[in-house]
Chains A and B, each alone.
Chain A
Amino acid sequence: MDDNTQGYKNRAREILEKYKVRVWGDSEIYTTRGTFKGIILPRSENDDDKHIVLKLITGYNVGINIDTITDMKEIGYKKANYKIPEKEFPYSEGKPNIKLIGTGGTIASRLDYRTGAVIPAFSPGELYGAVPELADICNLKTDKLFAVFSENMGPEQYKTLAIAIGKEIENGVDGIMIGHGTDTLHHTAAALTFMVQNSPVPIVLVGSQRSSDRPSSDAALNLIHAATAAGTSDIAEVMICMFGPTSDEYGLLHRGTRVRKMHSSYRSTFRTIGDIPLAMVTREKITHLKQTYNHRRSDRNVTIKPFFEEKVGMIYYYPNMQPDMIDSMVENGYKGIIIAGTGLGHVNKPLYPAIERAVKAGVHIFMTVQTIWGYVHMFVYDTGRDLMAKGIVPTENMLPEVAYIKLGWVLGQTDDPEEVRRMMLSPVNGETTEGEPYNGYLVFQGGTPEIEKFLCTIHM
């Protein structure tokens, strides 16, 4: 890309070239709407080709319509050097050694003029520049494995991550943090739970709901909480560490197989489903909520199982779904299907023949519930019994996304129906549980007097 017309296309670019003014040029633009002075900024690639962006001396940006331009002059040049100040991350004897593995996401970030979005900054020095408190908690090393958005994380990345984690554990780290976009954070958490078994140290996945270029970002506090958990907690499991309430109060540690992103934008978006979280975490301490968990050990006996069959899919059932939805998956060579059924785990009768055809073709089908909370109970109604008779296996209270990841992981290792079934129903770490605690399902209804009264007494 030509640096002098960065991001400008077609006519806007021609105008810049015609008047010989450059991006970052301090310029005067004469237009039919008056004269504008400022520094020409790069244009975001997705914006139109009809405007030129100017940063005024007051710091504001404005756009100039190119059709109104009568003349332009470059009178200076000031290229921005956007850089998070890098300070060497201090090493202190006695503090836990943590490895932060980067995958992308907005934990620490800066502006990308190409897209107008933010891109991550990542080196320990940059992180220390942005969140100096980290040095009070741990000695930090970082490794950027990929730079992808959360939605682009997939099986290849899961496997690479699992192997990298295995190496770090063998090398003796005291805890691992993984910086990750939040959209599919819980998919990755599930995948790592299955692929990295028997870890002696905490593996904490962390992200942020507000990018770190915002003063009210949750990124710094999430990092601080995650570092505390990774460095000092006794819980040696794959966990997600994100805000408990939307207030800056404490983080929650969620078991990697029981957690889900439940709101598109709230800070407190991650919730443990059908159980209570493992622990609360603040800068000062970790408060255990669940009494049973895998404890930290000093050995290095971790088992890495980096397997994944990519031909696994998920179907979200809806009324009047046609059988060809399932037929087409079979025809396209899918080996496993997770169905998110209604209620206790149901689909309609017209799908039955398609299900029979699929099972006959050797496709492994498992049932989860789209109610998210609760168990699949296929004995309650005839529909459920019919379905089981046709070869669909209920998966207890496994979350649909977790079931999808687990089936991919299982089919990466075997396609023997009995073995697949056995592995799916034997929990690795809490993806199915023997029961649901009464406080594992709490979705309060605002407006009711007792809840309104309660909200008055807490911080949201």
Chain B
Amino acid sequence: MKKDLNPQENYQRTRDLCGWVPRHDATRKTYEDIGFMSGLEVHQQLNSKKKLFCRCPVGIYQDFEDYDTEVVRHMRPTLSELGEYDGTALMEFKTKKEIVYRLKNITTCTYELDDTPPFPLNREALAIATEISLLLKQNIVGEFHITRKQYLDGSIPTGFQRTGIIGIEGEIFPEGRRVGIIQVSIEEDSCREVSDIGHRRVYTTDRLGIPLIEVVTYPDMKEPNEVAAAAEFIRYLTRSTGKVRVGIGAGREDVNVSATGGTRVEIKGVAHISWIPELTHNEAFRQRALVHLAEEIAKRKLDIKTWDITSKTIDSAHVAPYLLEEISLEGLDVVTVNLPDFKGLLSWFTQPDQCLASEISQRLKVVACLEQPNMTHSEALKPLFDIKSMEHVAELLNAGDNDAQIIFFAPKDDIPTALETIKERCQMAFAGVPNETRKSFADGTTIFERVLPGADRMYPDTDSAPIPIEEKFIEDIREQLPKHLQEQIALLQDWDAPEDTYNYLLRNNLIQWIEVITAKFGIEPHRVVTLFGHRLKELERKHDGMIGLDSILAMFDFIAENKLNFEYAYELLKEVYLNPKMPMDECATLAGLVILEPNKVEETIYKMIEERKELLDELTQECGIKYVMGDIRRRVIGNLPMEMVYEIVVSAFKGSEEE
């Protein structure tokens, strides 16, 4: 390897080596070539009145700075039921975090704080979950067992989530392709994170304990868009029950991705389905890049057993003047680390604007609690020191020409963990892709979050007895099932619904409304589709908040009683939407709409033309008709179809011509 390595060039060279292309340039073949595979874990809050294991209300959120008191806890790893410690558990313990919970009395009782055992499972939530499980065509379990799933990040004060399986197997057909379902579980939602700085992580307990279901699919998706489509499908399917919570954070996705030579990596808590394609695209290539990196290490014939780092602590006062950026080193030691034979690897591409060193830095933050910027290195894409200083560091460490160096900043107590973390991550590079969960960003990149937990973190909940799921319970729910999403989509096709209405109608579970309205009032479905899919969507986008089916039905009752036609609804909807409590005739007045006796329509038109005679005489006939049509619309709409109004206007003009 040449001595004067250019980090930027190396980053680009290694990016090209793994075949990375922007997503818009990728084709199905691109993904086939890298062995793209992805599965989903869709989380959806259920709209029960109370939490899953206590009687606190659901859906009240506090401001982060508004709390009644705080509780502090620490988490320790424990053994799984099968007698093994879980990998994540041990890593979390290494971090020695102080966990602070901010609680509000209104949303939190002693259960959330783990000072009272669980109350019996919320039956309302169990029924909703069973309904969704049936819609997914699952095998429902005979007995629901509550299991503890360890989370040592503190997001749940007990240190575990109470969860259980309601159904296994199952299938869906997003865009006509089959996607298998592994399982559906019911779980309690976790705390919301306020901050995570150094050794202190702060949470609120408002969301904690809200019933959730988790739908887990097989890794049946072969390209990024399919993953998003499956996520949408599951979201609409859960919404078709009308019993799930909507709004920010009510639905979240974990996305599992792997590529050839890589492993299952979980991208956690993706807030928007629209982020999924970019995230999965980048993750698959990150794995390919790490596989190439491992091959490069193999080529260099490095032995994982003997490979080791060396380090030296230097006085931060000596270092500070050479910093190119302003970083406070107060209270921190500066540690230099030599990575033998790692030249060219630290700047190895992993994701857009990230390289192997980024992964090390992220682990230093999570595992050793070092706030970023926590390090720089000899191949930094944006250097913190000039080349001279880095060469000096290499000398200090007696580094060889093919070595790479890291400089990190840490409080004294955290240095051993930090050194261990650096060594551990580098050694992981020998094998390729580490098992981990990653946090997602809107730009489609991810950062290290935690080691991927295994089945070892499951433990039966000794506080709760198993709940038998009787045949009758299932049959009662089966009889009340909503129309299956597949059939709803078929209906939209039958109705010739415009493409741009699908998402809105399915997301808001409006197919059933359309069916009710068309059946009750004999209106053509296509017209109701556009009323909702265009008109209502537009109103909701502008004003926020959803109208009730009651108001819509009252509106159509009013129209039917007054023998008006559908066009009236199109005009009236806005006022009904804005004034849900107002009587229909007042809404109509507000909208400037009128109800005319059947024989009065023609009279109104003629009268209007008469009133505007002077003005109309100035215009050509074509313009005159246009003008009149525009003006008369509100005064007659709904009373007579507009095409007939047009005919009357035209004949009125013709009549006056003949005069």
**Which residues of A does B touch, CB under 8 Å?**
31, 33-36, 47-48, 50-51, 53, 55-66, 68, 80-85, 110-111, 116-118, 210-217, 220-221, 246-249, 263, 265-267, 446, 452, 455-456, 458-460
A460 touches B78 (CB 8 A): no
Count the B residues whose beta carbon is within 8 Å of the partner chain — how many? 65
Which 6 A-B pairs have CB atoms at the shortest separation, nearest pair first? A63-B143, A215-B159, A34-B139, A65-B142, A59-B455, A59-B458
The yes or no answer to B60 lying at the interface (CB within 8 A) is no
Name the A residues within 8 Å of B458 (CB-CB).
58-61
Question: Is the pair A62, B152 in contact by a Cβ cutoff of 8 Å?
Answer: no
Q: Which residues of chain A come closer than 8 Å to B139, judged between CB atoms?
A: 31, 33-36
Interface of A (DSSP majority class): loop
Say which residue of B68, B142, B144 sits within 8 Å of A452 (CB atoms).
B68
Are the CB atoms of A60 and B70 closer together than 8 Å? no
Partner of B462, one of A81, A116, A456: A116
Q: Are B466 and A47 in contact (CB under 8 A)?
A: yes
Contact indicator B159/A216 (Cβ below 8 Å): yes
* Stretch of B79-87, B219-227, B528-536, B552-560 lying at the A interface: B79-87
> At the interface, yes or no: B168 with Cβ under 8 Å from chain A?
yes
**When the two chains form their complex, are residues A62 and B77 in contact, meaning their CB atoms are under 8 A apart?**
no
Q: Are B140 and A246 in contact (CB under 8 A)?
A: no
Q: Which residues of B are found within 8 Å of A61, using beta-carbon distances? A: 145, 147, 165, 458, 460
Which residues of B are found within 8 Å of A66, using beta-carbon distances? 142
A80 contacts across to B, CB distance below 8 A: 81-83
List residues of chain A with CB within 8 A of the CB of B144. 62-63
Contact of A62 among B79, B143, B216 (CB under 8 A): B143
Q: How far is the CA of A457 from the CA of B287 in the complex (A)?
A: 48
Evaluate contact between B169 and A266: CB separation under 8 angstroms.
no
B185 interface residue (CB < 8 Å to A): yes
Cβ A215 vs Cβ B76 within 8 A: yes
- Interface segment among B113-121, B230-238, B289-297, B376-384: the answer is B113-121
Which of chain B's residues has its CB closest to A111's CB? B81
Instruction: From the candidates A51, A57, A111, name the one contacting B466 in the complex (CB within 8 A).
Output: A51
Contact among A211, A213, A459 for B72, CB-based, below 8 A: A459
Q: Does B480 contact A (CB under 8 A)?
A: no
- Which of A33, A55, A81, A216 is B158 in contact with, Cβ under 8 Å? A216
Contact with A along B50-87 (1 / 0, CB 8 A): 00000000000000000111111111111111110100
Bitwise interface map of B from 163 to 178 toward A, beta carbon under 8 Å scored 1, else 0: 1110011000000000
CB distance from A215 to the nearest CB of B (A): 2
Interface contact B82-A247, CB-CB below 8 Å: no
Whether B460 lies near A111 (C-beta < 8 A) is yes
Give the residue name and chain of the A residue nearest to B460 (CB): A61
CB–CB A267/B460 < 8 A: no
Q: A62-B144, A248-B72, A265-B117 are in contact. List 15 more A-B contacts (CB 8 A).
A: A33-B139, A33-B140, A33-B142, A47-B466, A53-B143, A59-B455, A63-B141, A63-B468, A111-B459, A215-B158, A215-B159, A246-B113, A265-B116, A452-B68, A458-B70
- Distance in Å: Cβ of A62 to nearest Cβ of chain B: 4
In the complex, the answer to whether A60 meets B73 with C-beta atoms within 8 Å is no
Q: What is the CA–CA distance of A211 and B504 in the complex, to the nearest angstrom?
A: 49
Contact indicator B77/A215 (Cβ below 8 Å): yes
| In-complex Cβ contact of A459 among B70, B110, B152 (8 A) | B70
Check if B76 sits within 8 Å of A59, measured CB to CB.
no
Q: 1/0 per residue B454-483: CB within 8 Å of A?
A: 111111101001101100000000000000
Contact of A214 among B159, B163, B468 (CB under 8 A): B159
For the complex, what is the distance from the CA of A118 to the CA of B148, rounded to whole Å? Answer: 14
A118 to B559, CA, bound (A): 67
When chains A and B are docked, how far (Å) is the Cα of A249 from the Cα of B99?
11
Is A216 within 8 A of B114, CB to CB?
yes
Which of A34, A82, A452 touches B168 (beta carbons < 8 Å)?
A: A34
- Find A63's partner among B142, B160, B169 (CB 8 Å cutoff): B142
List the A side residues contacting B83 at CB < 8 Å: 80-83
**A215's contact among B75, B164, B168, by CB below 8 Å, is which?**
B75
B460 touches A116 (CB 8 A): yes
User: In the bound complex, do residue A82 and residue B145 qualify as a contact, i.e. CB atoms below 8 Å apart?
Assistant: no
- Contacts A58-B183, A455-B69; is A51 near B114 (CB within 8 Å)? no
**B89 within 8 Å of A (CB atoms):** yes
Chain B residues, Cβ within 8 Å of A60: 145, 147, 163-165, 183, 185, 458
Measured CB to CB, the closest approach of chain A to B406, in angstroms, equals: 29
Q: Which residues of A contact B89 (CB under 8 A)?
A: 215
Residues of B within 8 A of A212 (CB): 78
Picked from B72, B141, B150, the residue with its CB within 8 Å of the CB of A249 is: B72
Question: Judging by beta carbons under 8 Å apart, are B160 and A31 in contact?
Answer: no
- Tell me the residues in window 81-108 of chain B with beta carbons closer than 8 Å to chain A beta carbons: 81-83, 85, 89, 100, 105
Which B residues are in CB contact (< 8 Å) with A248?
72-74
